[in-house]
């Protein structure tokens, strides 16, 4: 009898905890989700952004170590201020966005989870795919869970929670077959990527 | 004729510098998409959006000054050929 009660209580607790996990959609209806990239070579500094962000991340504020999901960037939306540089960037010699239209990061593991007064910080291990090449990388990320803030952000159209995700990490363009070892005086090997994204989980 | 060409070259050079200055003496490449930053009040995210615009860069400055130099060079060249003939 006691064992049955215990088992039932454990089941109920698990169900309650599982219910707090929600899927956050990162296709921002306000269109302000931005990923920035910058390259600093001896002769030239390049910086640009992209707003074509989408993807879904499952997050439970009570168990942040269980986070999973994938962020997708539409490669055709990468923007730099100079039109000639933009043409080169999207061309087949560089990121070839017509052929490889998506840049993705899919979470495979979570490490070093820490809860702070500013949110949750963790190292996300995942598969980063650029120009059709996938590599495992580790990105330090901070999460801020904003329960109930979706209504204010959507001008009352939706109710639910927000999840703000911030990260900064670097990749080497050679690792992804982007003109390896070439033009390094004007286009740096290291690409610094920084992102601040807001995802929403609607509650109906 | 020679004087007019030099004056024209001078005007091209001055106009180039004036055009370049309207963009705040931008030392990068010419921009036709201007980044504009804003902050989302709910999430605190600072975002960048682009607006159409024109900020002349060093390529415009260089091109204009080279054009002025070519005018001066061409004028000197014509003078040299004329003096050789006579």
Cα gap B85→A57, rounded to integer Å: 81
What ipTM score was computed for the predicted complex, to two decimals? Answer: 0.73
Cα gap A126→A68, rounded to integer Å: 10
Beta strands in A5-101, from DSSP E residues, in sequence order: 22-25, 34-40, 45-50, 53-59, 68-74
The pTM score is: 0.83
Cα gap A33→A162, rounded to integer Å: 13
Does A82 contact chain B (CB < 8 Å)? yes
Cα gap A182→A176, rounded to integer Å: 13
Q: Are A197 and A175 in contact (CB under 8 A)?
A: no
What lies within 8 Å, CB to CB, of B20 at 6+ separation is B26, B56, B57, B60, B61, B64
Does B33 contact chain A (CB < 8 Å)? yes
Verify whether the Cβ–Cβ distance B42 to A162 is below 8 Å: yes
Does A180 contact chain B (CB < 8 Å)? no
Cα gap A145→A128, rounded to integer Å: 24
Beta bridge partners, A72, equal A54, A104
* CA distances to A94, A175, A178 from A183, in Å: 11, 15, 11
- The dihedral region occupied by A55, where left means phi > 0, alpha psi between -120 and 50, and beta the remainder, is left
Token code pair at residue A202 = 């609607």
pLDDT at A10: 61
pLDDT at A1: 72
- As to burial, measured by CB atoms within 10 angstroms (0-12 exposed, 13-18 middle, 19+ buried), residue A195 is buried
Q: Which parts of chain A have pLDDT scores under 50?
A: none
Does A79 contact chain B (CB < 8 Å)? yes
pLDDT at A122: 96
Interface mutation target, options B47, B57, B58, B63, chain A, most CBs of A under 10 Å: B47
Does B30 contact chain A (CB < 8 Å)? yes
**Chain B residues with CB inside 8 Å of A81's CB?**
28-29, 31-35, 50, 55
Token code pair at residue A51 = 């707003």
Alpha helices in chain A (DSSP H): 2-20, 83-90, 150-153
Verify whether the Cβ–Cβ distance A153 to B49 is below 8 Å: no
- Mind listing the pLDDT tens digit of every residue in chain B (86 residues)? 889 999 999 999 999 999 999 989 999 899 999 889 999 999 999 998 889 999 999 999 999 999 999 999 999 999 899 888 87
């Amino acid at each position: 009898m006691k064992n049955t009660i215990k088992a039932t209580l454990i089941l109920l607790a698990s169900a309650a905890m599982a219910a707090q996990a929600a899927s956050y959609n990162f296709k921002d209806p306000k269109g302000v989700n931005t990923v920035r990239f910058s390259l600093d070579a001896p002769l030239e500094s390049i910086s640009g952004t992209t707003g074509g962000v989408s993807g879904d991340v499952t997050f439970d504020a009570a168990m942040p170590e269980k986070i999973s999901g994938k962020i997708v960037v539409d490669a055709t939306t990468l923007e730099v201020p100079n039109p000639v540089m933009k043409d080169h960037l999207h061309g087949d010699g560089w990121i070839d966005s017509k052929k490889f239209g998506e840049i993705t990061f899919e979470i495979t593991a979570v490490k070093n989870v820490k809860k702070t007064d500013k949110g949750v910080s963790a190292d996300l291990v995942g598969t980063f795919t650029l120009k059709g090449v996938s590599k495992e990388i580790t990105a330090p990320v901070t999460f801020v869970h904003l329960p109930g803030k979706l209504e204010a952000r959507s001008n009352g159209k939706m109710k639910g929670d927000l999840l703000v995700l911030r990260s900064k990490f670097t990749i080497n363009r050679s690792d992804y077959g982007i003109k390896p070892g070439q033009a390094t005086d004007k286009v740096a090997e290291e690409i610094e990527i920084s992102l601040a994204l807001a995802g929403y989980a609607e509650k109906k | 004729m020679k004087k007019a060409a030099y004056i024209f070259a001078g005007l091209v050079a001055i106009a180039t510098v004036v055009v370049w200055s309207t963009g705040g003496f931008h030392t990068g490449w010419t921009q036709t998409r201007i980044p504009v930053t804003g902050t989302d009040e709910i999430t605190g995210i600072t975002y960048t959006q682009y607006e159409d615009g024109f900020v002349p860069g060093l390529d415009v400055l260089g091109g204009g000054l080279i054009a002025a130099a070519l005018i001066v060079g061409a004028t000197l060249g014509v003078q040299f050929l004329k003096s050789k003939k006579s």
